[in-house]
Amino acid sequence: MGRERSTKLAQGIRVRTYASGNKSIEIQFHYRGVQCKETLSALNPDKKSDQRYAINLKAMIEGAIERQTFCYEEYFPESKRARTLGNAKSQITIRELIEEWLKDVERTYPHSTYRCYKKSCKAHLLPNFGDICARELTPQHIRAWIRERTCTLKSIRNDLTPLRAVLDRALNDDVIERNPLDKIKVSKLVDRSLAKTNYVVDPFTKTEIEDFLTHALQYDPRIRNIFQFAFFSGLRTSELFGLQWTDVNWDKVEVHVQRAVVEGRLKETKTQSSDRHVVLLPAAYEALLSQKQFSNGDDYIFVRPENKGRFIHYEHLDRPWKQILKRANLRYRNPYQSRHTYASQLLSGGENPLFVAQQMGHKTTEMIMRHYGRWVEQGDNNQRHVFVSSFGQGIKEPSQHYATEEVYLPEVA
């Protein structure tokens, strides 16, 4: 069976000979950072005049590109490239843009991030905007959808994140002339009763922690160890699941948090600042020492009872959490409150907010002040600040100052 061959006529111009024996002239050029290849099917590859026409056409295209007057569909109206790089964009729908964007997200983002974006797209964006042509999507369309939502402002913004990414890409590719989201103030469209999330920071008291851990020990020592470490280290649940024995520095009494387990898959930490070294409180260190007897050669520190392997799903921890709360007669809070407990207890004890932020994997103290501001104030009231700077630590009296120095006076004539 024959193979396809090509003959170069000039730079970017070649005659392709297919296995069937048919020939065509192909023109190549770069446009908006993309190498474009178009077949000039109306030309006869064997005619010199048609070959010269192809060469001249390429020169015209490159000249138009340089002058920024090139219109793809005018030269190649039937080309698929014209739909993404040309001006024949009115037919591209939001659905097409979203589906193309999701393919890139699946390839380049963590699985958990891809799943969240896909969920928002399938549940909200595609049903409401999917069949609208990209150039016809208006701020009015989006505002009407936002007004109909009955969820929190945070949920709406989460759903708009993939839409903004899709529209920004379309804007960069000249598929649309402007991003309709740029003219929308989401917070001004959401009902005041729905604007704020119902989730509240509800940390445990020291007595509640003791009661919880007492009943956790009765439930299973391995369960007590992971919850004790959670209360006194501030790690996220996904980070607890990803912690390995090689992450522990016994000499420095710290752990290196560098991975997480989300939806059963191992991934990097949530953010770059989440990759951190956490200094261990004595109670957290004791939990690790207690857990060593259950390691059995496992790489991962925390494992499930009855040889069920390591923790990979939140449900593995949620069930014992609920049962222990019930046995201890404590009101329900979700397991993430152990992280809030760690932060609030440290801050109310007078710890530096920046240190607490670094321990928890935050780049700045913004999140700390937003969620735990009242505990910071408690810490300020309970502990008198001690200045480490020498600035303002007393001023010498003038007489003392001059007594140590020779004073030169001008001679009197």
H-helix or E-strand containing 265?
Answer: strand 265-267
Q: Which CATH number fits domain 206-381: 3.40.80.10, 1.10.443.10, 1.20.1630.10, 3.60.70.12?
A: 1.10.443.10
Question: Starting from the edge strand earliest in sequence, which strands make up the sheet with 276-279, in order?
Answer: 248-249, 254-257, 276-279
- Quick: pLDDT tens for 55-100: 999 999 999 888 888 888 888 888 877 766 665 445 789 999 999 9
What pTM does this model have? Answer: 0.57
Q: Which CATH number fits domain 5-83: 3.30.160, 3.30.460, 3.10.50, 3.30.420?
A: 3.30.160
Residue 251 in tokens? 């000499």
Q: Say which DSSP state 20 is in.
A: T
Selection from 201, 229, 202 nearest residue 213 by Cα: 229
**Which positions ≥6 away from 47 have C-beta within 8 Å?**
none
Q: Are 85 and 31 in contact (CB under 8 A)?
A: yes
Q: Which CATH number fits domain 94-195: 3.10.620.30, 3.40.50.10490, 1.10.150.130, 3.30.750.24?
A: 1.10.150.130
DSSP 347-376: HHTT--HHHHHHHHT-SSSHHHHHHHHHHH
pLDDT by position in tens, the chain (length 413):
456 677 888 888 999 888 777 889 999 998 877 788 899 988 998 999 999 999 999 999 999 888 888 888 888 888 877 766 665 445 789 999 999 999 998 888 888 788 889 999 999 999 999 999 998 899 999 999 998 888 888 889 999 999 999 999 988 887 888 899 998 888 888 776 655 555 678 889 999 999 999 999 999 999 999 999 999 999 999 999 999 999 999 999 999 999 888 877 777 776 776 889 999 999 999 999 999 988 887 899 998 888 888 888 888 899 999 999 999 999 999 999 999 999 888 888 888 888 888 898 888 887 787 777 666 666 555 555 455 556 455 555 554 444 444 444 444 44
- Quick: pLDDT tens for 165-224: 999 998 888 788 889 999 888 888 877 665 555 567 888 999 999 999 999 999 999 999
Q: Quote the pLDDT of residue 412.
A: 43
266: amino acid identity, one letter: L
Answer whether 5-83 and 94-195 agree in fold: no
Q: Are 132 and 142 in contact (CB under 8 A)?
A: no
Q: Quote the pLDDT of residue 63.
A: 92
Residue 92 in tokens? 């591209």
Buried-exposed string 294-314: b where 16+ CB fall within 10 A, e elsewhere: eeeeeebbbbbeeeeebbbeb
Q: Quote the pLDDT of residue 404.
A: 44
Helices H, strands E: what count in the chain?
18, 9
What does residue 331 show for φ and ψ, rounded to 5 degrees?
-65, 155
Q: Quote the pLDDT of residue 408.
A: 45
Domain boundaries, the chain: 5-83, 94-195, 206-381
CA dist 236 → 208, 226, 242, 289 (Å):
20, 12, 10, 20
Radius of gyration of the chain (CA): 33
